[in-house]
């Protein structure tokens, strides 16, 4: 069966088993040792990251999946150079294509050799190979350089003829040509320095997937049963405890998870859990037209009391525009929003430390939601427009392909702020609300980011 990935994200979505278990145990042990022997902080975080990079399992980790990719169509033959005479010679880089492929073969001597021989017959160069032991067979993951004239159907057909099954194929790019241990070290370092980076690191590690953070105390209903310390692996989902006491759920319907991937994710999640919730302390100054200086910084769980107090100063109309309905649960929902695994939150405060505005960037699969709440007395002073620009710049920096805001047509301030980004916008009405979508990776966003950087102004507090 050939499963060529082509779905786009929607808005609201054995024989070696002992060796795999040992890999997971070593991952957790390395993390626990590093986190337990040093005080929490950057030093402990970096040592934990180094421990992850040193594991044997990490040495087989796959290269970066840093962007959302749709399967590329077969490249055009126009202008392609004539193929070389040697049937096994690799294609010149100018007319080649990079592919990431996973296929399952029998765990038997000669099965991998047959697969490699079939690829060589089509002049396909194997740039990297990782193996994922399964209960029945082995999933082999390749980074391939193939002739530009070789279609995906021909490539998967050759693999099937050599005994490969359940083949999955997607287009790769030059970012995948990265040393796997170095990539893992980078992901672990990002996670250690900022809790909000964990979902992004997992998406780079696993490719296109959906990550949900479930709070320990839901707004309604009974709390879920606690997860075992080692997590839960199912065919298309993985579940782990997170640092906030809730759970982190990773889902990938287009491709089953392997025990090897589970061990790698467990190591990153355990690193995050042991270090606790972390938010960078960087601060920037926003000067209003009338001359007042406000501070913009990253917000986190420690800001819950100040955010609840700001809610109390906001009018019912302001809260209704922000939460699109009854606001009885708004205070409880703040705990969820301020959790760093849900995204990034910017706080605006006065010189006295009084919180007057919040801007949220919420991870939603390949898309990202932006939301603003500004205290009534501070509205229409440019705070919302500045927060929105910073949040969209953050989304651009981490490679989010689409950013959307849910509001009401009567909320002219939010509509004007979105239009002020200078980006193409798409407007849709859903269930009586207005959804405005933009793509920050377009040329206008790039120009805006370059301009801010050149002037010494940071586009966001990443």
Question: For the sheet containing 2-4, what is the strand order?
Answer: 2-4, 165-171, 96-105, 138-147, 125-133
Residues 264 and 288 in one domain: no
89 in a domain, yes or no?
no
71 in a domain, yes or no?
no
Q: How many angstroms separate the most distant Cα atoms in the chain?
A: 76
When pLDDT is averaged across residues 86-104 and rounded to a whole number, the result is 71
113 in a domain, yes or no?
yes
Residues 354 and 414 in one domain: yes
Number of domains in the chain: 3
Residues 371 and 449 in one domain: yes
The CATH number of residue 160's host domain is 3.30.70.260
191 in a domain, yes or no?
yes
Residues 441 and 314 in one domain: yes
When pLDDT is averaged across residues 210-223 and rounded to a whole number, the result is 70
Contacts for 244 with CB less than 8 Å, ≥ 6 apart: 213, 215, 216, 277, 301, 339, 341
462 in a domain, yes or no?
no
> Which two structure tokens, joined as six digits, stand for 114?
């047959």
Higher pLDDT, 24 or 211: 211
Residues 152 and 101 in one domain: yes
C-alpha to C-alpha distances, 94 to 91, 99, 149, 195, nearest whole angstrom: 8, 15, 12, 40
In sequence order, which ranges of 13-54 are alpha helices (DSSP H)?
17-37, 42-54
Residues 269 and 317 in one domain: no
Of 275, 296, 313, which residue sits at a domain end? 275
Q: Where are the beta strands (DSSP E) in 307-438?
A: 343-349, 355-364, 367-374, 402-407, 425-430, 433-438
Residues 149 and 244 in one domain: no
When pLDDT is averaged across residues 121-129 and rounded to a whole number, the result is 92
Of the chain, the end-to-end C-alpha distance in Å amounts to 42
Note the pLDDT of residue 120.
94
442 in a domain, yes or no?
yes
379-390 tens-digit pLDDT: 999 999 999 999
Residues 104 and 164 in one domain: yes
79 in a domain, yes or no?
no
Range of the structural domain that residue 46 is part of? 14-64+178-275
433-442 tens-digit pLDDT: 899 999 876 5
Residues 331 and 419 in one domain: yes
Residue 179 binned pLDDT confidence (cut-offs 50, 70, 90): confident
Residues 250 and 189 in one domain: yes
Q: Where are the beta strands (DSSP E) in 196-316?
A: 210-214, 232-233, 237-241, 247-251, 283-287, 293-299
Residues 298 and 340 in one domain: yes
128-159 tens-digit pLDDT: 888 888 888 899 999 999 999 999 999 999 99
288-339 tens-digit pLDDT: 888 889 999 999 888 999 999 999 999 988 888 888 766 666 666 788 788 8
Low-confidence winner among 180-184, 280-284, 444-448 (lowest mean pLDDT): 444-448
């Amino acid at each position: 069966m050939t499963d060529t990935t082509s779905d786009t994200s929607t808005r609201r979505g054995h024989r070696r088993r002992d060796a795999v278990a040992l890999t997971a145990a070593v991952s957790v042990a390395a993390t626990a040792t590093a986190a337990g022997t040093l005080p929490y902080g950057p030093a402990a975080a970096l040592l934990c990251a180094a421990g992850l990079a040193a594991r044997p399992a990490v040495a087989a980790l796959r290269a970066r999946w840093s962007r959302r990719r749709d399967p590329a169509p077969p490249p055009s033959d126009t202008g392609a150079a004539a193929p070389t005479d040697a049937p096994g010679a690799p294609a010149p880089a100018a007319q080649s294509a990079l592919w990431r492929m996973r296929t399952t073969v029998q765990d038997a001597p000669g099965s991998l050799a047959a697969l490699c021989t079939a690829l060589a017959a089509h002049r396909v160069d194997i740039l990297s190979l990782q193996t994922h032991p399964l209960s029945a067979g082995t999933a082999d993951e390749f980074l391939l350089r193939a002739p530009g004239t070789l279609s995906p159907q021909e490539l998967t057909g050759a693999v099937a003829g050599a005994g490969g099954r359940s083949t999955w194929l997607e287009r790769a790019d030059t970012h995948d040509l990265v040393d796997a241990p170095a990539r893992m070290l980078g992901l672990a370092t990002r996670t250690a320095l900022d809790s909000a980076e964990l979902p992004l690191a997992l998406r780079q590690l696993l490719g296109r997937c959906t990550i949900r953070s479930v709070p320990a105390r839901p707004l309604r209903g009974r709390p879920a049963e606690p997860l075992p310390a080692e997590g839960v692996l199912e065919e298309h989902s993985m579940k782990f405890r997170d640092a906030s006491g809730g759970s982190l759920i990773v889902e990938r319907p287009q491709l089953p998870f392997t025990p090897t991937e589970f061990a790698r994710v467990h190591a990153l999640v355990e690193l995050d859990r042991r270090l606790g919730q972390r938010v960078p302390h960087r601060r920037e100054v926003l000067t209003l037209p009338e001359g007042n200086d406000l501070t913009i910084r990253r917000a986190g769980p420690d800001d819950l009391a100040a955010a609840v107090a700001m809610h109390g100063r906001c009018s019912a109309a302001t809260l209704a525009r922000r939460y699109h309905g009854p606001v009885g649960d708004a205070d409880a929902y703040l705990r969820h929003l301020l959790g760093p695994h849900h995204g990034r939150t910017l706080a605006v405060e006065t010189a006295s430390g009084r919180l007057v505005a919040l801007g949220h960037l919420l991870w939603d699969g390949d898309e990202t939601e932006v939301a603003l709440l500004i205290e009534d007395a501070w509205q229409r002073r440019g705070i919302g427009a500045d927060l929105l620009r910073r949040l969209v710049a953050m989304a651009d920096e981490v490679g989010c392909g689409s950013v959307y805001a849910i509001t009401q047509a009567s909320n002219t301030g939010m509509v004007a702020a979105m239009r002020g980004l200078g980006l193409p916008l798409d407007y849709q009405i859903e269930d009586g609300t207005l959804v405005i979508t933009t793509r920050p990776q377009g040329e206008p966003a790039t120009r805006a980011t370059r301009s801010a950087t050149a002037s010494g102004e940071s586009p966001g507090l990443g």
